[in-house]
Amino acid sequence: MKRFILLVVIVFLGYVSKPLWEEPVQQLIPSSIWDSVHQTVEQVKEDPNVNIIIDNLTERFNSLLEDFDTKQLESNDTNIATPELLEPTEEMFSIHNIELGDSRAEVEQIIGHSPKRSTLNEYGVHWDAYHENYQNFIMVAYDEEDIVRGLYTNQDLIASSTEIMLGSSMELVREQLGKPETIIPYRLFHYAINSNGEYDVFHLDNSYVTIFYDQHENDTVTAIKIIDEELERGKNTLYSEPSEQLQVGFEYQLFDLTNATRSNHNLPLLSWDDQVKETARKHSMDMAENQYFSHTNLKGQSPFDRMEEDNIPYTTAGENLAYGQISSIFAHEGLMNSLGHRKNILQERFRKLGVGVAFNNESQPYYTKKYFSN
C-alpha cells in the first residue's frame, strides 16, 4: 500500500510540474506607417528652402547611426580571453576552474573581479553572476560560510575528468556518465524528472549535475548546472516560497541568461528596461491571479496593446511566455529549445528587454519576457 501511495505521489508531482509554453509573438511597425512618413518627407523635400536643412540632418543622422553601430559592436565583440581550463582536482566537473567546495576568495581570485549581480534563487541562497560584458559568464551559489555550493554556465568554461565539454553529444554524455536519474528524492517528496530530452540529471558523488542539450544543434551540450547534494535535497517543496526577492531574482537571472546566450551568438546585448518590465510583470500577475496562460489577456489585449497602453513606443517588439519551470535556468533553456521563442531570444533587431515574474497560489512562477527596439 505504501509503495502504491508513493507511486501516485511521484506521478502526480511529475504531472503538475510539467512546464508550459505559449507560442512567441513578434511585431513590426506596419509598413504603411513608414510609407506615410516617407511620402510626407518627399513632399517637404520639394520645397527648396528646406533641402539644405534636410541634407544636414541626414548627414548628422547617418553619423550618429554609424557611431551607435560601432559602439554596439565594440560592446559585444571585444576579445576577452577564455581562461585556460584545467582538469578538476576534487570533483568530476569544474566551471571556469571553480569546483564545489571552493571559497569565495578562491573564486574571485580566479575570476579576477567581484560579481556583477547577486540575486536570490530557488534554493534560498543567491546566484552571484560573474562575467565580462557577458563573456566568461558563470553563476556561483555560496552558502553562509562563502563556500561554493552551486555552479552554472552556458559558455565554453566546462572542464571535466571525462571527455565531456560544451558541444559534446548527448550520446557521449550518457556513455561517460551512465543512465540519468529519473527521480530525485527530497526530504518530503519525490520528484519524477520529465525532461523531454532537453536535459539529463546525474547524481555524481555528492552533487546533482544537470546537463542541458540544444535540440536545434544536434542535441549537444549547451549548459551545465552543478548543485551540492545537501542543497538540492534541502528543499521542502518543488516550488520555492514566493517573495519579492525571489521575484526580482528570477527576473534578473532570466535577463542575464538571455544576454549570455546572445553573447555566444555575437549579437548586440540587450539593455534592461524598467518600464517594459512593469508591463511584463503586470501580465504575469494577471495570468497567475486569473489562472490563464496566453499572450492575449482576458480583456482581449495583445502584448502590443499593453505596451501602447503603458506608453512604450517601439518599432519592433516581441514577447515570450513560460509557466511551470522551477527556475529561470530551466525557463531559459526550455525557451531556447523552442524555435519560435529562440527566434525572439536571438533577434538581432531587439535592443531592450524587461522580464516580469509572478507566482500563483501554488507558488508556480509565470515568466513574461518583453523585447523591443524604439
**Where do the H-state alpha helices sit in 2-50?**
2-16, 31-45
Spatial neighbors of 268 by CB under 8 A, at least 6 apart, are 72, 73, 75, 76, 262, 348, 351
Nearest Cα to Cα of residue 189 among 334, 306, 360, 17: 17
Residue 354 identity:
G
Helix (H) or strand (E) holding 282: helix 274-290
Domains of the chain: 1-72 (no CATH), 93-238 (3.40.33.10), 250-373 (3.40.33.10)
| Across 292-308, average pLDDT | 97
Who has greater pLDDT, 129 or 4?
129
Residue 81: its pLDDT value, please?
85
Q: Using 50, 70 and 90 to split pLDDT, how confident is the model at 64?
A: very low
Q: Whose grid coordinates read 531570444?
A: 345
Q: Where are the alpha helices (DSSP H) in the chain?
A: 2-16, 31-45, 51-77, 104-111, 170-177, 229-233, 244-264, 274-290, 303-309, 328-336, 339-345
Q: What is the pLDDT of residue 31?
A: 35
Is the model's pLDDT at 229 over the cut of 80?
A: yes
Confidence class for position 24, pLDDT limits 50, 70, 90:
confident
The better pLDDT of the pair 180, 68 is held by: 180
Distance of alpha carbon 355 from alpha carbon 369, whole angstroms:
5
Predicted confidence (pLDDT) per residue in 231-278, tens digit: 999 999 999 999 999 999 999 999 999 999 999 999 999 999 999 999
DSSP element (H, E) containing 307: helix 303-309
* Amino acid found at 364: Q
Section 289-317 average pLDDT: 97
How many angstroms separate the CA atoms of 27 and 83, rounded?
40
Q: Which pLDDT belongs to residue 178?
A: 97
With cut-offs at 50, 70 and 90, classify the pLDDT of residue 370.
very high
Spatial CA neighbour of 367 closest among 265, 261, 258: 258
Distance, CA of 68 to CA of 74 (rounded, Å): 10
Residue 82 has pLDDT above 60, yes or no: yes
pLDDT band at 80 (very low <50, low <70, confident <90, very high): confident
- What local confidence, expressed as pLDDT, does residue 69 receive? 44
The tens digit of pLDDT for each residue in 39-55 reads 333 333 344 444 444 45
In this prediction, residue 28 carries a pLDDT of: 61
Q: Which pLDDT value is given to residue 63?
A: 46
Average pLDDT over residues 75-89: 79
- Separation CA 203–CA 359 (nearest Å): 29
DSSP SS3 for 200: strand
